[in-house]
Structure 1
Amino acid sequence: MKKLLLPLIAIAFSFSSANAQEKWSLEKCINYAKEHNIDLQLRKLDAEIQSNNTKQSKFDLLPNLNGNTGYDFSYGRTLTADNTYGDMNTQSGSVGLSASVTLFEGFQKYNSIKQNELDLQASLQDVEKAKEDLALNITSSYLNILFNKELLHIAQEKLKVTKLQIKRTEALVEAGTLPKGTLMEQNAQAAREALEVVNASNNLDLALLDLAQLLDLENPTEFDISIPELPVLNATRSMVDPESVFINALEFRPEMKAARYRLESSEKGLVIAKGQRAPSLSMSGYWGSSYSKDFQERGLLRDDNGDLILDDENRPQPIIIRNEMKLGDQLSNRERKSFGFNLRIPIFNGGIVNRNIANAKINIDRSKLNMENRKNDLRKEIQQAHANAKAAMNKYFSSETAVSSTEEAFRYTEEKFNLGLVNSVDYNQEKNNLFQAKSNLLQAKYEYIFRTKILDFYNGIEIKL
């Protein structure tokens, strides 16, 4: 049994380790964030509330139907059946149904439905905007991790070169070609570069933590990303015209759609406010009945021939037929029904309608200004994105040229150093220049990729690596 159990434990452990070491792609990060990001979930809940408001405005067109019932206990003096007052304890109940429906009120309810539908579409566009902003933030963090991974690799390569050079220096010192101080300077340089490796590793850990926290991961210690195949960067790529991107973005960007929906909603608000000036016509109906435990069914006294028996003043004489009528009989005999129409004509209501109309016009002006403001912001964002992408492209290809020329200079200096024609200070300076140029190229590379992705983002192209 133990022989069987141990392999199973080992297999389970290997599977759990594999899952823990699973690396996340950019697409997985974005999809996960869309499902778990709390701010985005709050946006979705706001849209659900607006959806419920839209449904309710449609139900408002239907008639309302309400039932009522009650049961009362009365104590003390009251009017009796003999038209006198006496102490009585009575019990009574009632039941009823009422219904009403608005037939016309200036199409306010109909326009409210339209307004709520527009508000719902605006809320849905807010959700889409939040999704795109989240994807952009994740892409930035993802590229920052890739940048720090390569920066760590450059620091490690730099230290590796120094360690190889120390071995050569040791041989030259032993041969008496170089002084011992040169070896000491190389060891000190290696210590400084080892610290650079530690700092680069720490920066990578922090970049991974930033993305893990952006994803709201509970345990970010095992989090890592996969290395994608990055797009080829070349100088022949032409930048899209920012004005054409702006014209295109006006049609599909969610913030612009939301602004248009809100403008249409405010225009519906004005129509609703004007509808308050129109007469309103409603129809209502009621059915009800009641029951009393002490209810007495009364009649008129008659002789054997069925003729009324009159008193001395020629009045019919009442008589109690039953002291208490059954519940079913009472509800049937005492039921009440009503049906009617109600026409309301607004004449003067303290200027409320005029105020609502004036405020609705102001809301339209405000929506127009908000839309124009959003349009101006979008134009500025696209212009800035284009300028940043162009600057990043120029910086990248200039850095590429700088690395190429610095590599040649370093090879020449390294050859002279190995021959003892250059001291270690000049050698290390040239080596630092080379790796600084590589770091600058690396930074320009990821900045160029990110800036072009932002420009593509405004042009309606999905963010992918």
Structure 2
Amino acid sequence: MKHLFQIVALITLIFSGTAQAQQNWDLQQCIDYALENNIQIQQQSINTDYYQNELQQAKNNRLPSLSGNLSNSFNFGRSLQYDNTYADYNSNQTGASLSANVPLWNGFRLQNSVDKADLDLRASLADLQKAKDDIKLYIAAAYLEILFAEELVQVAEDQLEITKLQIDRTQKLVDAGSLAKGSLLEIEAQQANEELNLVNQQNSLQLAYLNLYQLLEIASPDQFKIEKPVLSVVKANGSLLNSMDVFRNAVKIRPEVKSAEYRLGSLQEQVAIAKGSLYPSLTFGADYYNEYNNKYFYSPTEENPNPGVISFGDQLKNNDRYGLGVNLSIPIFNKGQVRTQIKNAELQVLNQEYELQSTKNTLRKDIEQAYTNALAALKKYMASNKAVESTQEAFRYTEEKFNVGMVNTVEYNQSKNNLAKAKSDLAQAKYEYIFRTKILDFYNGNPLNL
């Protein structure tokens, strides 16, 4: 009975493992996994954390600074006494101090530094979003490539199945003496070629999966399969017909554009920071100091010519000193360094303005390219769809004539190859169109899904 339970448990484990191995992932699952595990995104997240720390530090720089100091010294030989005279003795002196500084005015450099750090953080967050958007597009492209490869495998399998059926019919006609054996050999040769084509298409499918595995960085690719979605009918949509509207909307929301805009603002703040060095700076400061010396004695008097050491408590009461003050620093001449910093900062602003415009131009070109490719794919799909219909009918007619010996094997194979190519072209145009329109939708702010 014990062995029976063990066998049942083993079978259950095997079936559960098989079920896990056959689990299919849809596009959203692939995207979510990639966003969670992609190394480039993790690195960009670390970069964002760095700029978050920089912003916090810029804010903290506006706070007062407080520092303490403890010192202990051993003095030998001639030393200053408590009554401000010198004598030869050895002593041990301990001192403590506190000092604080508060910036009151520095040409708005502190606030401008905070604004600059905030813009740097926003640019980093936009870069992180851009990295996520890129991986989404890469995953979608790899996902559609697998679907395309699966369709080509299906086309190859269908063609091979037709050939196998035709071999059976031809074998019967050869056995009956209606066809020469050469016709059978030619079709068998065609079968071998189609089997090779099927192997090649299956290899292409595995390579497409490998590409997706590497993008996802999956540790166990053997347990991964994608889910085939129900794709909508291919037709012209709003994204295809309004590409310039897509660009006008994308330039407002795309992270790469926002990142360039934030960096432009950051460099403009850098100019303001550099100009702040031309102004005086005002600082408020306060400090406190106290000390204890084991050889500080009371001053001798007639009543007490040999006084003892001043106690620790009395020294703390008598030796403390503190002060308050303000410091005004006025820049007069610094070898032209501030002027040079301002000019260099202004040059960086000018360069970033060109960078921003270049980013917008690249975005426009990408959208126009996606639009052009989608339009071409749509036209190709419509033409391929008609070609499939016509070649399907032509193949049916050729097959009927071949079965009665009216056409030879070469013509039959040529007709079937034409049908296979038409189906392949149709599949390629379909997935090319879907991907390009998804890019346009994505630029338009719509979620990426199938």
Alignment of 1:382-401 (within 5 A): 382-401=367-386
**In the TM superposition, what is the alpha-carbon distance from 1:362 to its structure 2 partner?**
1.1
Name the structure 1 match of 2:298: 298
**Distance (Å, rounded) in 1 between the aligned partners of 2:72 and 2:303:** 39
Name the structure 2 match of 1:316: none
**Distance (Å, rounded) in 1 between the aligned partners of 2:307 and 2:11:** 95
Alignment of 1:49-448 (within 5 A): 49-74=50-75, 76-79=76-79, 89-234=90-235, 239-293=240-294, 295-303=295-303, 319-322=305-308, 324-448=309-433
Name the structure 2 match of 1:10: 11
**Distance (Å, rounded) in 2 between the aligned partners of 1:351 and 1:325:** 56
Q: What letter is aligned with 2:403?
A: N
Name the structure 2 match of 1:23: 24
**Distance (Å, rounded) in 2 between the aligned partners of 1:413 and 1:257:** 60
Q: Is the 8 A contact 1:235 1:397 kept in 2?
A: no
**Distance (Å, rounded) in 2 between the aligned partners of 1:30 and 1:330:** 72
**Distance (Å, rounded) in 1 between the aligned partners of 2:238 and 2:183:** 48
Q: Is the 8 A contact 1:389 1:455 kept in 2?
A: no
Structure 1 pair 426/219, CA: closer, same or farther in 2 (3 Å)? same
Structure 1 pair 292/2, CA: closer, same or farther in 2 (3 Å)? farther
**In the TM superposition, what is the alpha-carbon distance from 1:213 to its structure 2 partner?**
0.9
Q: Is the 8 A contact 1:65 1:99 kept in 2?
A: yes
Q: Is the 8 A contact 2:24 2:224 kept in 1?
A: yes
**Distance (Å, rounded) in 2 between the aligned partners of 1:303 and 1:38:** 84
**Distance (Å, rounded) in 2 between the aligned partners of 1:193 and 1:256:** 50
**Distance (Å, rounded) in 2 between the aligned partners of 1:303 and 1:237:** 108
Q: Is the 8 A contact 1:296 1:320 kept in 2?
A: no
**Distance (Å, rounded) in 2 between the aligned partners of 1:85 and 1:71:** 20
Query: What secondary structure does 1:288 align onto?
Result: strand
**Distance (Å, rounded) in 2 between the aligned partners of 1:132 and 1:34:** 9
Name the structure 2 match of 1:459: 444
Q: Matched residue pairs, number?
A: 447
Query: What secondary structure does 2:62 align onto?
Result: coil
**Distance (Å, rounded) in 2 between the aligned partners of 1:336 and 1:85:** 24
**Distance (Å, rounded) in 1 between the aligned partners of 2:144 and 2:95:** 74
**Distance (Å, rounded) in 2 between the aligned partners of 1:168 and 1:288:** 110
Structure 1 pair 161/80, CA: closer, same or farther in 2 (3 Å)? closer
Q: Cα deviation per residue 1:232-272 (whole Å; 9 max; x = unaligned)?
A: 11368782222222111111111111122122222222222
Structure 1 pair 4/334, CA: closer, same or farther in 2 (3 Å)? same
Q: Is the 8 A contact 1:156 1:197 kept in 2?
A: yes
**Distance (Å, rounded) in 2 between the aligned partners of 1:273 and 1:437:** 66
Structure 1 pair 73/237, CA: closer, same or farther in 2 (3 Å)? closer
**In the TM superposition, what is the alpha-carbon distance from 1:20 to its structure 2 partner?**
2.3
Structure 1 pair 237/155, CA: closer, same or farther in 2 (3 Å)? farther
**Distance (Å, rounded) in 2 between the aligned partners of 1:128 and 1:122:** 10
**In the TM superposition, what is the alpha-carbon distance from 1:60 to its structure 2 partner?**
0.8
Q: Is the 8 A contact 1:144 1:207 kept in 2?
A: yes
Q: Give the share of equivalent positions with the same residue, in percent.
A: 45
Q: Cα deviation per residue 1:144-191 (whole Å; 9 max; x = unaligned)?
A: 000111111111111100000000010000000111111111111111
**In the TM superposition, what is the alpha-carbon distance from 1:328 to its structure 2 partner?**
3.6
Query: What secondary structure does 1:432 align onto?
Result: helix
Q: Is the 8 A contact 1:213 1:220 kept in 2?
A: no
**Distance (Å, rounded) in 2 between the aligned partners of 1:131 and 1:210:** 18
Gaps of 5+ in 1: 305-318
Query: What secondary structure does 1:321 align onto?
Result: coil
Structure 1 window deviating more from structure 2 (140-149 vs 176-185): it is 176-185
Give the RMSD, CA atoms, in angstroms: 1.9
Q: Is the 8 A contact 2:271 2:342 kept in 1?
A: yes
**In the TM superposition, what is the alpha-carbon distance from 1:228 to its structure 2 partner?**
0.6
**In the TM superposition, what is the alpha-carbon distance from 1:8 to its structure 2 partner?**
2.8
Name the structure 1 match of 2:435: 450
Q: Is the 8 A contact 2:239 2:246 kept in 1?
A: no
Q: Cα deviation per residue 1:79-101 (whole Å; 9 max; x = unaligned)?
A: 48697775x55332221111111
Name the structure 2 match of 1:308: none
Query: What secondary structure does 1:99 align onto?
Result: strand
Q: What letter is aligned with 1:56?
A: Q
Structure 1 pair 320/365, CA: closer, same or farther in 2 (3 Å)? farther
**Distance (Å, rounded) in 1 between the aligned partners of 2:80 and 2:54:** 54
**In the TM superposition, what is the alpha-carbon distance from 1:300 to its structure 2 partner?**
3.6
**Distance (Å, rounded) in 2 between the aligned partners of 1:149 and 1:12:** 30
**In the TM superposition, what is the alpha-carbon distance from 1:282 to its structure 2 partner?**
0.3
Query: What secondary structure does 2:307 align onto?
Result: strand
**Distance (Å, rounded) in 2 between the aligned partners of 1:236 and 1:401:** 20
Q: What letter is aligned with 2:77?
A: R
Q: Is the 8 A contact 1:278 1:345 kept in 2?
A: yes
Structure 1 pair 321/238, CA: closer, same or farther in 2 (3 Å)? closer
**In the TM superposition, what is the alpha-carbon distance from 1:337 to its structure 2 partner?**
1.2
Q: TM-score scaled to structure 2, two decimals?
A: 0.95
Q: Cα deviation per residue 1:194-253 (whole Å; 9 max; x = unaligned)?
A: 111111111111111110110011111221100111121136878222222211111111
Query: What secondary structure does 1:298 align onto?
Result: coil
Structure 1 pair 235/268, CA: closer, same or farther in 2 (3 Å)? closer
